[in-house]
Structure 1
Amino acid sequence: MNASAPLDYYRTHACSRQWRGFLLALCEEFDSALPDAELARLMARIGERFGRAHALPAAATLEELQDAANAVWSSAEWGQVAFEELPEQVHIHHAASPLSAVLGGRVGWDTGFLEGVYRQWFRAAGMVSVLDVRHLQSDNPDVATYTLSRVF
């Protein structure tokens, strides 16, 4: 067995077969109808709606917020998140998203959705208006990274 075999297995089984064909068809239709930037904005709005529907309880620390987010992701089988506090920003590392697994590196889908969810959750937690959540480019198809930082 090669080193990537376990991850390849995960990617093919992370999204149930009943949804795989539907999601791929939906993705192809949206890809043909919307430019990448517009698709990313649409998916971010959908993510914000998801974030409101799955509101996190009040948290006093970043670790408590991370634990609350992971409780939502665990119950939905949507992977897990780690928040990394840096001097002037917080990095958000989301691993094992089923959208990422089924759709691969298609721009805007997974990253836009998760960006919207985290934006909504941090706003609800009291994020000030000069901060925002943005996706960062990554070479790792299994981990999407975002930054919560000052908007310029």
Structure 2
Amino acid sequence: MTPDDLLDHYRTRSCAPQWRGFMRALCDELEHGLDEEDRARLMARLGERFAGDHPLPEVPTLDALQTAANAVWAPIEWGRAEFEEMEDRVLIRHFASPLAAAGGAGRPWLAAFLEGVYRAWFRAAGTASVLDVACTHADANHVDSFVLSRVS
């Protein structure tokens, strides 16, 4: 079994069987009823709502913010996050999210949920209004990637 096969196995188990059919049907309906931009906008709003329901404590550093985010993800088995500070941006990587397992692969708009979560958490942490979070890669090798950077 390859490492990717092993990750696929664990991710499919991350969505409880009683929810898998419902989630796939919901995603199918969203794909038939909304265009991709509207689906992504809806998922981002859901993510922002989730972040509001799971606020992070005030913390002094990016590492502490990462630790606080992972303290939310760990007990609900939603993978883990890594933040990497660059000169002009912050890279955000979310590993092993159950989104693809729950909604089905090939639906990059699902990552907009995490985009909304991280957008809300970074705004609540006090990032400048000229900064925003955007998805750069959805479910690439079991990683969703985002960047916090200046809005163009």
TM-score normalised per structure 2: 0.94
Once residues 74 and 27 of structure 1 are traced to their aligned partners in structure 2, the CA distance between those partners, rounded to angstroms, is: 25
Once residues 138 and 21 of structure 2 are traced to their aligned partners in structure 1, the CA distance between those partners, rounded to angstroms, is: 26
Map 1:81-96 to 2 at 5 A: 81-96=81-96
Q: Which amino acid aligns with 2:114?
A: L
Once residues 90 and 53 of structure 2 are traced to their aligned partners in structure 1, the CA distance between those partners, rounded to angstroms, is: 24
Q: Which amino acid aligns with 1:83?
A: F
Deviations 1:7-55 (A, max 9, x none): 2311321211011000000000011000001100000001000001000
Alignment check: 8 A CA contact 2:93 2:144 kept: yes
User: What SS class does the counterpart of residue 140 from structure 2 fall into?
Assistant: coil
Structure 1: give runs of 5+ residues left out of the alignment.
Answer: none
Q: CA deviation at 1:107?
A: 2.6
Single out whichever of 57-66 and 99-108 deviates more from structure 2.
99-108
Aligned residue number for residue 50 of structure 2: 50
Deviations 1:50-75 (A, max 9, x none): 00100000010000000000000001
Q: CA deviation at 1:6?
A: 1.1
Q: CA deviation at 1:2?
A: 4.0
Alignment check: 8 A CA contact 2:11 2:97 kept: no
Aligned residue number for residue 67 of structure 1: 67
Once residues 2 and 137 of structure 1 are traced to their aligned partners in structure 2, the CA distance between those partners, rounded to angstroms, is: 22
Alignment check: 8 A CA contact 1:91 1:148 kept: yes
Q: How large is the Cα RMSD of the aligned pairs?
A: 1.3
Count of residue pairs brought into register by the alignment: 151
User: What SS class does the counterpart of residue 108 from structure 2 fall into?
Assistant: coil
CA 1:139–1:13 in structure 2 vs 1: closer, same or farther (change >3 Å)? closer
Single out whichever of 96-105 and 129-138 deviates more from structure 2.
96-105
Q: CA deviation at 1:4?
A: 3.3
Aligned residue number for residue 151 of structure 2: 151
Structure 2: give runs of 5+ residues left out of the alignment.
Answer: none
Once residues 113 and 149 of structure 1 are traced to their aligned partners in structure 2, the CA distance between those partners, rounded to angstroms, is: 18
* Paired-residue identity, %: 53
Aligned residue number for residue 77 of structure 1: 77
Once residues 128 and 52 of structure 2 are traced to their aligned partners in structure 1, the CA distance between those partners, rounded to angstroms, is: 17
Aligned residue number for residue 133 of structure 1: 133
